[in-house]
């Protein structure tokens, strides 16, 4: 057992996908490249303006909370968090401290329930661009609806924290509350981490060590690496008998280290008080019920169902859960297979569908999505394609060609087979003709086979299949060849 036990909590900020900003009607448009276009007196904090709460943003936070098993209190309110920052034009941020929209939930990771302390709603700041001698500020982002989730310090490894962030990210997509693109800064992760000495005696309660915060982690990899680095750094300090300073550190991805930024502020430093310009929110049971009804099947449930319904293995199921669109396409394809198939036949066709989707189709897509406008394969054509392979009407080699054509032009597989002259040769006399030719060209191989070399047979099959351009029915080839070599 390691000498020191890490305790990890996460804070995750997510920009919500809404039409307009949190307290004004400016557009929430992450694609806007021109600076300071989506601004108005409200989000610029001009005197005399009043904020108006964006109902859509409130709904999206509640939806996230419900999906994460949170309580939604009947009353919620906004608070003013006072601090100066060049990209915060009002000199304060409207946030929630005392009565957040959601509290006390959990997210299940590998069978373990990681507790969620709260999820609240606030507004984003603008963004700064630092040049060599000066800095520029862009307020397009100022006032965007920003959701903040705070977990309890329930995690004990870098891998677990990474998994939490990944699962949360996936749920954002399922709920369609945020694009949560980490490269664009739409999802930003902060880590709280402390180390404590492992206590051997059970009755002695383990005390938490000094908490260090690592800010602005912009990829799952950065989350994992920063925690691993920090565990090592703190452990080395503790082993030397040194103290850990409570502070905020930043992650330098190029150097792979965390660097001290500032000593941590406490809530008192911000002089929070209830936002006087906004009324408290009253969330009725009916509202909660309505929002709950909009929650789709979530990743964990979907995973369990795919395994149960289609007999998929863990690995393939995860691909279909993480790639939501591919998973939905898979289910549509299966529903297009002929009805009332015997169990054995259905399960073999499901296996074929999974394999062709995960290897060949994903290869053709090259990172693209089956939801793209230019994706041409319909679920019923894909189902027909699978049935043709299952019934042995096309070999696996021909199947690849057919799928390639389907991907290119979108026609149904039978049409492609006819058009491209790819249909299988099942006529015995045609196959015999090819076999005779190959045998006469390879007298030595035939001799080898007769003197007991089994792989000579496979070699001949390969030659015959190649001569037929993959079109000869492999079973028939094998039968006739056996006869000829007797």
Of the two residues 21 and 302, which places its CB atom closer to Zn ion in the complex?
Answer: 21
Selected range binding Zn ion among 19-27, 165-173, 324-332, 387-395, rule: CB under 5 A = 19-27
Of the two residues 65 and 143, which places its CB atom closer to Zn ion in the complex?
Answer: 143
Of the two residues 54 and 468, which places its CB atom closer to Zn ion in the complex?
Answer: 54
Q: In the bound complex, what is the minimum distance in angstroms from residue 125's beta carbon to Zn ion?
A: 14
Furthest C-alpha separation in the chain: 100
DSSP string, 214-270: EEEE-SHHHHHHHHHHHHHHHHHHHHTTPPPP-EEEEEETTTTEEEEEEEPP-GGGG
Of the two residues 50 and 202, which places its CB atom closer to Zn ion in the complex?
Answer: 50
Of the two residues 48 and 366, which places its CB atom closer to Zn ion in the complex?
Answer: 48
Of the two residues 59 and 90, which places its CB atom closer to Zn ion in the complex?
Answer: 90
Q: Is 24 in the site for Zn ion (CB under 5 A)?
A: yes
Selected range binding Zn ion among 32-40, 345-353, 367-375, 446-454, rule: CB under 5 A = 32-40
d(CA 272, CA 79): 6
Whose structure tokens read 């679920």? 379
Classify residue 411 by burial, with Cβ atoms within 10 Å: 0-12, 13-18, 19+: middle
Selected range binding Zn ion among 24-32, 156-164, 245-253, 316-324, rule: CB under 5 A = 24-32
Selected range binding Zn ion among 26-34, 195-203, 217-225, 288-296, rule: CB under 5 A = 26-34
d(CA 325, CA 328): 5
Provide the token pair at 462: 């390969």
Identify the CA nearest to 223 among candidates 197, 243, 251, 244.
Answer: 251
Q: Is 40 in the site for Zn ion (CB under 5 A)?
A: yes
Please give the size of the binding site for Zn ion, defined by CB under 5 A.
5
Q: In the bound complex, what is the minimum distance in angstroms from residue 270's beta carbon to Zn ion?
A: 23
How many CB atoms neighbour CB 312 within 10 A?
19
Q: Is 57 in the site for Zn ion (CB under 5 A)?
A: no
Identify the CA nearest to 73 among candidates 82, 62, 84.
Answer: 62
Q: Is 53 in the site for Zn ion (CB under 5 A)?
A: no
Of the two residues 22 and 417, which places its CB atom closer to Zn ion in the complex?
Answer: 22
Q: Are 465 and 478 in contact (CB under 8 A)?
A: no
d(CA 92, CA 125): 10
Selected range binding Zn ion among 42-50, 257-265, 331-339, 433-441, rule: CB under 5 A = 42-50
Of the two residues 40 and 196, which places its CB atom closer to Zn ion in the complex?
Answer: 40
Q: In the bound complex, what is the minimum distance in angstroms from residue 23's beta carbon to Zn ion?
A: 8
Provide the token pair at 239: 């082993």
How many CB atoms neighbour CB 84 within 10 A?
7
**Which of 10, 26, 107, 187 touches Zn ion by CB under 5 A?**
26
**Which of 10, 12, 43, 66 touches Zn ion by CB under 5 A?**
43
Classify residue 77 by burial, with Cβ atoms within 10 Å: 0-12, 13-18, 19+: middle
Selected range binding Zn ion among 40-48, 300-308, 330-338, 401-409, rule: CB under 5 A = 40-48
Q: Are 398 and 418 in contact (CB under 8 A)?
A: no
Q: Is 142 in the site for Zn ion (CB under 5 A)?
A: no
Contacts to Zn ion by CB under 5 A: 24, 26, 40, 42-43
């Amino acid at each position: 057992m390691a000498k020191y036990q890490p305790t990890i909590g996460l804070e995750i900020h997510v920009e919500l996908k809404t039409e307009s900003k949190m307290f004004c009607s400016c557009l929430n448009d992450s694609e806007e490249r021109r600076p300071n276009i989506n601004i108005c007196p409200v989000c610029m904090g001009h005197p005399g303006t009043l904020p108006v709460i964006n109902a859509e943003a409130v709904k999206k936070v509640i939806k996230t909370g419900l999906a994460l098993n949170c309580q939604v209190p009947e009353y919620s309110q906004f608070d003013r968090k006072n601090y100066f920052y060049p990209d915060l034009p009002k000199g304060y941020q409207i946030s929630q401290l005392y009565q957040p929209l959601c509290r006390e939930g959990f997210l299940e990771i590998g069978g373990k329930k990681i507790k969620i302390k709260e999820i609240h709603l606030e507004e984003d700041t603008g963004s700064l661009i630092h040049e060599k001698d000066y800095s520029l500020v862009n307020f397009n982002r100022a006032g965007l609806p920003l959701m903040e989730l705070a977990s309890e310090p329930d995690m004990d490894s870098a891998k677990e924290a990474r998994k939490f962030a990944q699962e949360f990210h996936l749920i954002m997509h399922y709920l369609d509350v945020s694009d949560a693109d980490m490269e664009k800064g739409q999802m930003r992760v902060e880590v709280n981490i402390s180390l404590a000495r492992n206590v051997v005696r059970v009755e002695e309660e383990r005390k938490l060590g000094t908490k260090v915060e690592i800010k602005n982690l912009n990829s799952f990899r950065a989350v994992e690496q920063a925690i691993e680095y920090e565990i090592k750094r703190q452990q080395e300090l503790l082993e030397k008998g040194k103290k850990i300073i409570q502070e905020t550190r930043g992650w330098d991805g190029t150097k792979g280290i965390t660097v001290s930024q500032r000593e941590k502020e406490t809530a008192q430093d911000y002089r929070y008080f209830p936002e006087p310009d906004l009324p408290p929110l009253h969330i009725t049971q009916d509202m909660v019920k309505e929002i709950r009804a909009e929650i789709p099947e979530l990743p964990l449930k979907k995973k369990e169902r795919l395994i149960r319904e289609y007999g998929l293995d863990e690995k393939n199921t995860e691909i279909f859960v993480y790639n939501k669109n591919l998973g939905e396409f898979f289910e549509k394809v299966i529903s297009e297979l002929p009805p009332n198939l015997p169990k054995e036949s259905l399960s073999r066709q499901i296996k074929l569908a999974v394999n062709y989707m995960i290897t060949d189709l994903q290869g053709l897509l090259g990172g693209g999505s089956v939801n793209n406008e230019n994706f041409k394969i319909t679920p019923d054509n894909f189902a027909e394609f699978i049935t043709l392979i299952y019934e042995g009407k096309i070999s696996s080699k021909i199947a690849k060609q057919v799928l390639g054509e389907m991907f290119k032009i979108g026609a149904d597989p039978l049409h492609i087979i006819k058009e491209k002259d790819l249909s299988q040769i099942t006529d015995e006399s045609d196959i015999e003709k090819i076999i005779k030719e190959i045998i006469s060209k390879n007298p030595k191989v035939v001799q080898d086979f007769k003197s007991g070399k089994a792989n000579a047979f496979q070699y001949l099959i390969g030659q015959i299949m190649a001569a037929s351009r993959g079109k000869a029915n492999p079973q028939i080839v094998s039968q006739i060849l056996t006869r000829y070599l007797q």
